[in-house]
């Protein structure tokens, strides 16, 4: 009995320590909300300066890799930008290994015949991946400012008219715009992603930028001053998030950044759960790599303590996936050990964790939806699903954190795009598919584990635990189901192979 009691005390100590650590990130979420209201909602709106006179030359960079479904759409969009044609240079930074190359060649020839300065830039290898392509293009460009768009984006015609004038401030190094969503209504998965991204951009970016903290370029839908890139060490590829890395180096070098939440650049959200996982894994792994690289420099730098603390929360937020994965193992077991230990602090600490984590997430994204959409009340119905899916993704993302903490070098895996915007559009027989069947088995095992825990909790009348166990269990089940279904569809013979007789391009 003494051993059992001692084990219970040790277990509950670890369990409660985990929820307290997670609560710190939840409290920080409340802090972001405070900054958002103080420096944006309750402050004077930003006034767009007048355009340069004369207007400066701008280079549009489009880094692409195997984007046969969306590349022409993107090229046409940037050529519709409302900016003097003689001052606009477009670079297609193409590392493709499939027929995307031929598609680009044909469209470039058409656009050049219409008077556009557009070039198809190829490299002999993919050294540095996206960072290497951007650096290569920069060395061949003529623009004072570099506008960058990923293949799944469609910049509005007035994009440059609303961003370039901001650079009247000679200390401004980068302008980031808010991402919109071309296909948020396609499925529940895309709707959940849109809520995640809305919160990141509107609340996090606005709060950090307007309060004087560091924030980051998101790799696309933004404009850089050429001098800011070059003076800060240029594009580097020792992390998978070259955008985050350069952002921190530039701001530590004294350059100011600006976020324009009113300027929206729409993009296509991943419709395949495996593509979504690929995207999240890259972002997560790159963030922790950047934290390893930049946090020691930041804490040794002369920037203010406020900036250092905010940068630490920003760059280490993905550690929450590790905490959540471990908590997933411990939460069901706590039903037994809490009865053995009888700790009086268990209830109050779990209540505190509820307020700091789950409730903070709901309030955070509810405010974001309220400030963005007239029909925000109806959109709130998906918030519980969003929280649940966030839990279901934690195993995949926790693995990415561990990989990022290692010294291994990982390949940049871009997010597949299918040009799917309308509900009911087909994508399951298109190429660029992939997935990890083993992941679905692990996620389903966790779902079954929580189903058993739910049954035990109900029999023990642990009513407070039931909602949490249900939230975790459903999240794992939903992600496992999509992973399996979308993965199985990728085993079918793709249309590319049926038409050409060739195997699908290497990813």
- Host H or E run for residue 178: strand 172-181
Cβ atoms 163, 146 nearer than 8 A: no
The span from the CA of 167 to the CA of 261, in Å, is 16
The span from the CA of 17 to the CA of 396, in Å, is 23
- Residue 344: predicted pLDDT: 67
- Host H or E run for residue 481: helix 465-489
What pTM was computed for the model? 0.91
- Least confident window among 73-87, 291-305, 366-380, 458-472: 458-472
Catalytic annotation on 238? no
- SS3 for 346-415 is HHHHHHHHHHHCHHHHHHHHHHHHHHHCCCHHHHHHHHHHHHHHHHHCHHHHHHHHHHHHCCCCCCCCCC
Which sequence spans correspond to the domains of the chain?
Answer: 2-24+318-420+429-489, 38-313
What does DSSP assign to residue 153? B
Q: How far is CA 204 from CA 35, 235, 247, 314, in A?
A: 9, 24, 15, 9
pLDDT at 407 over 50: yes
Q: What is the mean pLDDT of residues 75-96?
A: 97
- φ/ψ of 105, rounded to 5, equals -55, -45
pLDDT at 490 over 70: no
Q: Which fold has domain 38-313?
A: Spore Coat Polysaccharide Biosynthesis Protein SpsA; Chain A (3.90.550)
Largest CA distance in the chain: 85
Instruction: Write b or e for each residue in 285-324: b if 16 or more Cβ atoms lie within 10 A of its Cβ, otherwise e.
Output: bbbbbbbebbbeebeeeebeeebbebbebbbebbbbbbbb
The neighbouring-strand residues paired with 64 are: 94
- The answer for residues whose C-beta is within 8 angstroms of residue 333's C-beta and 6 or more apart is 11
Per the prediction, the chain carries an average pLDDT of: 90
Cβ atoms 87, 133 nearer than 8 A: no
End-to-end CA distance of the chain: 56
- Residue 340: predicted pLDDT: 66
- Residue 505: predicted pLDDT: 38
pLDDT bucket at 85, cuts 50 / 70 / 90:
very high
Q: For 316-356, how does the pLDDT look when each residue is reduced to its tens digit (9 = 90+)? A: 999 999 999 999 999 888 887 776 666 666 767 777 777 77
The residue that leads in pLDDT, 336 or 19, is 19
- Residue 481: predicted pLDDT: 92
pLDDT bucket at 500, cuts 50 / 70 / 90:
very low
Q: For 153-167, how does the pLDDT look when each residue is reduced to its tens digit (9 = 90+)? A: 999 999 999 999 999
Q: What is the mean pLDDT of residues 239-251?
A: 97
CA angle 307-312-315, nearest 5°?
Answer: 115
pLDDT at 391 over 80: yes
Q: What is the mean pLDDT of residues 478-502?
A: 61
Catalytic option among 95, 98, 152, 198 = 95
Catalytic annotation on 117? no
Catalytic option among 98, 152, 243, 245 = 243
Please state whether 36 falls in left (phi above 0), alpha (psi between -120 and 50) or beta. alpha
pLDDT at 301 over 80: yes
């Amino acid at each position: 009995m003494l051993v059992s009691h001692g084990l219970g005390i040790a277990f509950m100590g670890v369990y409660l320590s985990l929820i307290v650590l997670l609560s710190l990130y939840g409290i920080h979420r409340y802090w972001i909300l405070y900054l958002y209201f103080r420096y944006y909602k309750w402050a004077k709106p930003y006034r767009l300066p007048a355009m340069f006179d004369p207007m400066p030359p701008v280079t549009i960079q489009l880094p692409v890799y195997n984007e046969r479904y969306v590349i022409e759409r993107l090229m046409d969009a940037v050529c519709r930008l409302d900016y003097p044609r003689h001052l606009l240079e477009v670079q297609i930074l193409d590392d493709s290994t499939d027929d995307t190359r031929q598609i680009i060649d044909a469209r470039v020839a058409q656009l050049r015949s219409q008077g556009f300065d557009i070039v198809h830039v190829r490299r002999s290898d993919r050294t540095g991946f996206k960072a290497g392509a951007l650096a290569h293009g920069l060395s061949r460009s003529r623009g004072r400012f570099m506008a960058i768009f990923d293949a799944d984006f469609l910049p509005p015609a007035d994009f440059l008219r609303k961003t370039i004038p901001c650079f009247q401030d000679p200390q401004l190094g980068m302008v980031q715009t808010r991402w919109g969503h071309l296909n948020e209504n396609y499925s529940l998965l895309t709707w959940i992603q849109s809520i995640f991204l809305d919160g990141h951009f509107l609340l996090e970016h606005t709060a950090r930028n307007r309060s004087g903290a560091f924030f980051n370029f998101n790799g696309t839908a933004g404009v850089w001053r050429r001098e800011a890139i070059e003076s800060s060490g240029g594009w580097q590829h020792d992390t998978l998030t070259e955008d985050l890395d350069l952002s921190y180096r530039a701001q530590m070098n004294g350059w100011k950044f600006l976020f324009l939440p009113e300027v929206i650049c729409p993009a296509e959200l991943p419709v395949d759960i495996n593509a979504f996982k690929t995207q999240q894994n890259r972002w997560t792994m790159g963030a922790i790599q950047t934290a390893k690289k930049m946090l020691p420099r930041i804490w040794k730098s002369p920037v203010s303590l406020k900036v250092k603390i905010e940068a630490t929360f920003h760059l280490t937020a993905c550690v929450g996936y590790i905490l959540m994965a471990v908590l997933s193992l411990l939460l069901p077991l706590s039903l037994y050990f809490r009865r053995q230990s009888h700790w009086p602090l268990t209830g109050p600490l779990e209540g505190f964790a509820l307020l700091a984590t789950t409730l903070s997430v709901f309030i955070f994204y509810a405010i974001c939806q309220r400030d963005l959409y007239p029909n925000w009340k109806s959109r709130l119905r998906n918030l519980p699903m969003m929280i649940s899916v966030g839990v279901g993704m934690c195993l995949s993302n926790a693995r990415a954190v561990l990989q990022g903490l290692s010294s291994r070098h990982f390949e940049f895996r871009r997010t597949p795009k299918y040009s799917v915007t309308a509900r009911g559009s087909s994508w399951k027989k298109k190429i660029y598919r992939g997935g990890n069947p083993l992941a679905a088995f692990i996620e389903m095992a966790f779902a079954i584990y929580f189903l058993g825990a739910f049954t035990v909790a109900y029999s023990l009348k642990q009513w407070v635990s039931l909602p949490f166990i249900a939230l975790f269990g459903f999240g794992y089940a939903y992600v496992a189901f999509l992973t399996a279904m979308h993965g199985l569809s990728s085993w079918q013979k793709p249309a590319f192979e049926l038409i050409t007789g060739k195997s699908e391009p290497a990813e």
